[in-house]
Structure 1
Amino acid sequence: MGWFLQRIAVVLAPVVDLVFPPRCPLCGAGLAAQDGLCSACWSDLTIPGEPCCSQCQRPFPSHVTMQNGLCAPCLAMPPQHDGIAAATLYNDASRQLVLAFKHGRKIALAPMMAKQIAARLPQSDDHWLVVPVPLHRVRLWRRGFNQSALLAREIAGIRGGELIVDALVRKKRTPSLGGLGRKARIRALTGAIGTASQWRGRLQGSCIVLVDDVLTSGATSDACVAALKRAGAKKVIVACFARVADESV
């Protein structure tokens, strides 16, 4: 069935392009296809690279030459996760894409964003479970979709992982974390995230890709990782589209 739908999509693509000419979702410039940005907007995205912390991808100053080095926060408080795979560093361009995707309801951006995330994931022979950061049911009802689940579905398809969309649950509503400091975010998330009872056996001993759209202070992902590790997960990599390098944001 999947190959049939893909074939239909290929056949109908010229018609779709005729009715809805491909445009860059950031600046509106014309494109050759519906699945990306114009060259100018691509160049506005900042892709993580070396030198950076080997554990969390926090950028180091350009003059630093160490390999497999750890940043001061990871040395002071070793993270529970087993690495971060971020498609971009958070800047004006990535922020516009995230806002258009999440609040502008441009969910057609999910495949393009997921491809960028999947490209940053490490190669491994392990069988990965792909788990999105959950939304509380009230927020899910109001928004109509979980942006992390849309990205997770695409990543699972690209990398061949097993998607478990409801492995994590929000057990209580939390306030918007924007504007809160790290300690306040941790307090707000205490006891808020757990694992679904029907999946705990499946999570035992598993390798997991935890998917979110933006990684800010890491408080939400930390709560998710802690819940997955309590359920017996062997390894958890945090995958996101944009990683905020400045924890004061």
Structure 2
Amino acid sequence: MRSLRHAVWGAVGLAIPPTCVACDRLVAEDAALCAACWREMPFLAPPWCARLGLPFAYDLGAGAVSPQAIAHPPRFDRLRAVAAYEGPARAMVSRLKYHDRPHLAQAMAAWMARAGAELRFAAEDEDGAGGSDMDRAPPLLVPVPLHPFRQWTRRYNQAALLATRVGELWGAEVAAHALVRSRATRRQVGLDAAQRAKNVRGAFAVSDTGRLVLAGRRVVLVDDVHTTGATVAAAARALERAGARAVDVLVFAHAGADRPLS
């Protein structure tokens, strides 16, 4: 059976050769990005702000927080992202969200699982030692929902695809329907920070089934991109009001993280 499966996938590979997830250039069988996109991919890595995941130009020590997080403390505890929202990362988000490329979620989520590995543990227990059993248990993954009409037109929720794959890699439960859009909102593209916040204010609610699984749990809110933070702030507020003990955020791309903080 295994040899037959390999033969089938080999035939598929010959008929549809693998291509770069960002630009469609041909790549090796086990590669997600071509060499050019790999060089241009704006990956994020420590040292970074402990709250917002914004990169620092130099290491300020464990737990260092950026001026942005001090001036405007986020509603969530921690945010982690794979890359800055530019170049190949921006292209991948656009392809997944607007160009009917749901298969991209597999590669994007694999990077997210690595970039957000510390979110598997409570903020005060990142090494996995000590703390309560609940702190050591994997968090509950909750994707940012789409309005039903928008999901019907798009056919899938990109955040749910990402959360599902991260959950498989982390061995974590995914509550795909815990959070719902209680009203339709305008697309956030083109809106400034104040307009985005107004657009999503009160737009999220926790479902009845969500309340059953959220109470007392650590939650990782999953989305494709973080821009001004209006969406995750509104979603985190709804989760906290429903009894979530803590809310972290995991995204693929982070707008505003295109240059290290000095």
* TM-score, normalised by the number of residues in structure 2: 0.85
% identical equivalent positions = 34
> Structure 1 residue 187 and structure 2 residue 183: aligned?
no
> Which residue in the other structure is 1:217 paired with?
228
Flag structure 1 segments of 5+ consecutive residues without an equivalent: none
Provide the rounded CA distance (Å) in 1 between the counterparts of 2:3 and 2:242.
40
What is the rounded CA distance, in whole Å, between the counterparts of 1:103 and 1:71 in structure 2?
33
Q: Does residue 113 of the first structure (1) align with residue 108 of the second (2)?
A: yes
Q: How far is 1:223 from its partner?
A: 0.7
- Once residues 216 and 3 of structure 2 are traced to their aligned partners in structure 1, the CA distance between those partners, rounded to angstroms, is 38
User: Which SS does the other structure have where 1:58 is aligned?
Assistant: coil
Decide whether the 8 Å contact of 2:186 with 2:199 is kept in 1: yes
- Measure the CA separation in 2 of the matches of 1:191 and 1:238: 19
1:70 maps onto 2:81 in alignment: no
Q: Is the contact made by 1:149 and 1:165 (CA closer than 8 Å) also made in structure 2? A: yes
Q: Distance in 2 between matches of 1:207 and 1:7?
A: 43
TM-fit CA distance, 1:148: 0.6
Q: Which has the higher contact order (CA 8 A, sep 6+)?
A: 2
CA distance in 1, matches of 2:45, 2:22: 23
Equivalent position to 1:29, from 21, 25, 30: 25
Distance in 1 between residues matched to 2:75 and 2:112, nearest whole Å:
21
Shift of 1:7: 9.1
Find out whether 1:245 has 2:253 as its counterpart.
Answer: no
Shift in CA distance, 39/181, structure 1 to aligned 2, threshold 3 Å:
same
Residue by residue, what CA displacement relative to the aligned partner does 1:212-249 show, whole Å, maximum 9, x if unpaired? Answer: 001100100111111111111112211111000169xx
Residues 1:200 and 2:211 are matched in the alignment: yes
SS in 1 for 2:49: coil
Cα RMSD after superposing both structures: 2.1
2-structure distance, mates of 1:46, 1:110: 18
* Aligned equivalents of 1:14, 1:85: Cα separation in 2: 36
* Corresponding pairs, count: 241
Partner Cα separation in structure 1 for residue 232 and residue 44 of structure 2: 19
TM (norm. structure 1) is 0.90
Deviations 1:65-105 (A, max 9, x none): 41222122211232221211201111121111111111111
Instruction: Give 2:51's aligned amino acid.
Output: Q
**2:88 alignment counterpart:** 93
CA distance in structure 1 between the aligned counterparts of 2:170 and 2:14, rounded to whole angstroms:
31
Q: Which residue of 2 aligns with 1:18?
A: 14
